[in-house]
Amino acid sequence: MSSVLFLVVVLAISSLALASSGRITIVKLVSEEDVDMALANYTANLSEKSIKDKGSFSIVLSAGGTLIYTLSHIASLFPNRPQRYEKKRWVTYITDSPKPPPPRITLTFLVINSAAYIGMVVTDKEEANAVHVAIDHIVVSPTLPCAEVTVAEELTWLLDKDAASKLDGCDNNICLL
């Protein structure tokens, strides 16, 4: 199974305000098919809720495939790069990305953290340390960008068993935080 990360962001652009009062949900999944089904259901449920509540639905999918080997970055906000600290612009650019391609544009935390709901799908054991650092609030320097994601409503982590293998308080498919 290759390492995959999807960052799903439901945006309410009219109310771009940082908030971290949302809840965190962690779903530990057994197989890659379970991950695919969970992402499809998560997106469909958010779409239905957003249309019902707000009359509109916006979603951003950031898929990594072979470009993401670790959760050390979200979108193209990398540790040790100044773009991750952008506080005024919604979109910024990077010309020296540590992962191909070197030039990229990216959403900033100003936009990402204004989302009501964020779903992060993570698979593979190579991601277990980063997932553990982010979810179990392990202090590292520099802080992993994935640990800086906050939401107003809900942050959902959809993890396969390998990605969840180092989490504190996780047994079988239940995670107690």
- Structure confidence by residue, pLDDT tens digits, 108-167: 888 888 888 888 888 888 888 888 888 888 888 888 888 888 887 888 888 888 888 898
How far is residue 146's CA from residue 137's CA, in Å, rounded to a whole number?
11
**pLDDT higher than threshold 50 for residue 19:** no
How far is residue 127's CA from residue 3's CA, in Å, rounded to a whole number?
7
**Helix/strand/coil for 19:** coil
How far is residue 18's CA from residue 173's CA, in Å, rounded to a whole number?
31
Phi, psi of 157 (to 5 degrees): -105, 120
How far is residue 17's CA from residue 153's CA, in Å, rounded to a whole number?
12
Strands 104-107 and 91-94 turn out to be: antiparallel
**pLDDT higher than threshold 60 for residue 11:** no
pLDDT in tens, 67-104: 233 556 788 888 888 998 999 988 899 999 888 888 98
Look at residue 9 in the predicted model and tell me its pLDDT. Answer: 46
Phi, psi of 85 (to 5 degrees): -100, 5
pLDDT in tens, 28-71: 877 777 877 887 787 777 777 776 777 655 555 554 432 233 55
User: Which residues are CB-contacts of 60 (< 8 A; sequence separation ≥ 6)?
Assistant: 7, 8, 9, 11, 107
One-letter amino acid identity for 105?
I
Q: What is the pTM of this model?
A: 0.67
